[in-house]
Amino acid sequence: MSNSGVGRRGLLIGAGALPGLLPVADARAAEKGEAGGQTRALAAYGASLRFEDIPAPVLQRAKDAMADAVATIIYGAELPWSKIIIAYARRLGSGGRSFILGAGAAPVQAPMAALAQGAMAHAFEMDNLTKPDSGSHPGAILFSSGLAVAQDRGMSGKQLLTAFVAGAEVMIRVGFATEHTNEERGFHAPGTTGPFGSAVTSGHLMGFDAEKMANALGVAGSCSAGLLAFVHAGNGAMVKRLHLGRGAESGVLAASLAADGFTGPDTVLEGDGGFLKAFCPHWDVAELTDGLGSQFKSMTIMIKRYACHITAHNAVEAMLDLKQAHGFSADDISTIAIAGSKRMATVNNIAVPPDALLAQFSIPFCVALSMYRDPIDPRSFDDNVAKDQAILALTRKVSMSIAPGQANNDLTAEVTVRLNNGSSLKQRVTAFSGTPERPLDRAGVREKFMLLTANFPNAEMSRLFDRIQAIETERDLGWLKV
């Protein structure tokens, strides 16, 4: 871990900025990595965070993530699996005050808006997540639930922005504590971490004190869910999108129940029978409170650049770098070798994806696609992409291996291209454009936003982007609908 600047520890703001979060005995236990008081500490932090506590770079990262979420939700609205969930949300959620972005003007109840928007944000592998990989998706989970609650209660942009950061600080820490081993047991990580972040974002907007926030987290733990069965079955990948929707919805449910006095265990994260022990073969409980009050994990949020699963991003960028530098075509390629983590070489090594959804999940296919289509544009993964014989033929030339010593949550990719003339070209990418080390600037975030919202009038979407970038000045959010 880095001890300063922006890294896994996040942005340092000076030790003791928010003191008194843990009783002395629990603080000592947390320092030793022992279980004791972590859920309550996170609850106290999530309830007490103020807008004034948040440094400008963190606020900007949050606004970029929120703008990115709006774009991915709007793009996702047109996909068939999203339309099924939108229709469900409308049937069960009529009569509310929250809007489903990209789905027309009729409002619904807040939990249903959160459900639909969370699924829509993740509808096509374009929503933001974190580096290092925490298995959490801040935009899809926190913005989807936060906007729904804020619109329902007539709250301001500043309140939503603060609640987003509060939820991110908790959810990302929960994800780091899992060491991403919940997926080793077959769980889809964002569906398991999401309810905790959504509960804090929702609870913050509802004005919770530490006690109610602890209860919301306790309830959220029993809502954690999501399986990776779709990967191993080779079908049913629509359900992957639902995991993010359910994560967002579950946090709204947990907070709403806690607001009415419903209780949950205050050791839900660290205790016996709690989240970490139930979901993870191994974990690091100290990560739950690492730097809490003095470091912002929100700075680990990254914006995805390519329309594919995050495990493919570095490999795709390496391939594009080699193509640009050496000017070869797909016909010139003899073989492609990709070295990465065990997760990349196994779970995401899908040689013949049956549909577009699993094509996005396949590293070999995405790398092959980058030689024929623009991997930045999600429209490249159309309904027929998995049947594209040229891409499939190149996919068969891709082999994947495990890089010795590479951690499972390290998505570094080393791509070696051997050409028909016998020459060998190599590129290693550790941080693609959009990662915390190489964050997209305002123009880059806007470019992606405009690409994903291209079906709407350009001037209207440009104004929407600018308004989100100044969301702290908005007195209410009822205007945020498309």
Kindly report, residue by residue over 67-106, the tens digit of the pLDDT.
Answer: 999 999 999 999 999 999 999 999 999 999 999 999 987 9
What does the alpha-carbon distance between residue 344 and residue 342 come to, in Å, rounded to a whole number? 5
Does a structural domain hold residue 471? Answer: no
Does some domain include residue 463?
Answer: no
The answer to whether residues 297 and 346 belong to one domain is no
Tell me the CA distances in angstroms from 316 to 265, 313, 360, one per residue in order: 44, 5, 12
> What is the pLDDT, as a whole number, of residue 13?
59
- From 302, 320, 335, the end of a domain falls on 302
Residues 255 and 279 in one domain: yes
Residue 212: inside a domain, yes or no? yes
Verify that 48 and 179 share a domain, yes or no. Answer: yes
In a shared domain, residues 186 and 241? yes
Domain that holds residue 386: 310-429
Q: Write down the pLDDT at residue 141.
A: 98
How many other CB atoms sit within 10 Å of the CB of residue 320?
A: 21
Instruction: Note the pLDDT of residue 17.
Output: 44
DSSP 3-state assignment of 203?
A: helix
CB 419 within 8 A of CB 433: no
248 and 117 inside one domain:
yes
CATH number at residue 353: 3.30.1330.120
- Structural domain total, the chain: 2
pLDDT, residue 132, reads: 92
Cα pseudo-dihedral 326, 327, 328, 330, rounded to 10: 130
Contact between 177 and 284 under an 8 Å Cβ cutoff? The reply is yes
Instruction: Indicate if 241 and 177 belong to the same structural domain.
Output: yes
Residue in 200, 194, 96, 113 with CA at minimum distance from that of residue 153:
96
Which of 284, 302, 320 marks a domain boundary?
Answer: 302
Q: List the CATH number of the domain containing 265.
A: 1.10.4100.10
Q: What is the pLDDT of residue 14?
A: 44
Residue type, 311: T
Is the same domain home to 229 and 359?
no
Q: Is residue 39 part of a domain?
A: yes
Three-state DSSP class for residue 287: helix
Contact 314, 381 (CB under 8 A): no
Cross-sheet strand order for the sheet of 333-340: 398-402, 333-340, 413-419, 424-429
**In 3D, which of 17, 67, 187 has the Cα closest to residue 449?**
67
pLDDT of residue 21: 52
Q: Can you list the residues of the chain whose pLDDT is less than 70? A: 1-9, 12-34
- What residues form DSSP beta bridges with 340? 402
Same-domain status, 109 and 72: yes
- Which of 302, 329, 350 represents a domain boundary (last residue)? 302
Co-location of 196 and 330 in the same domain: no
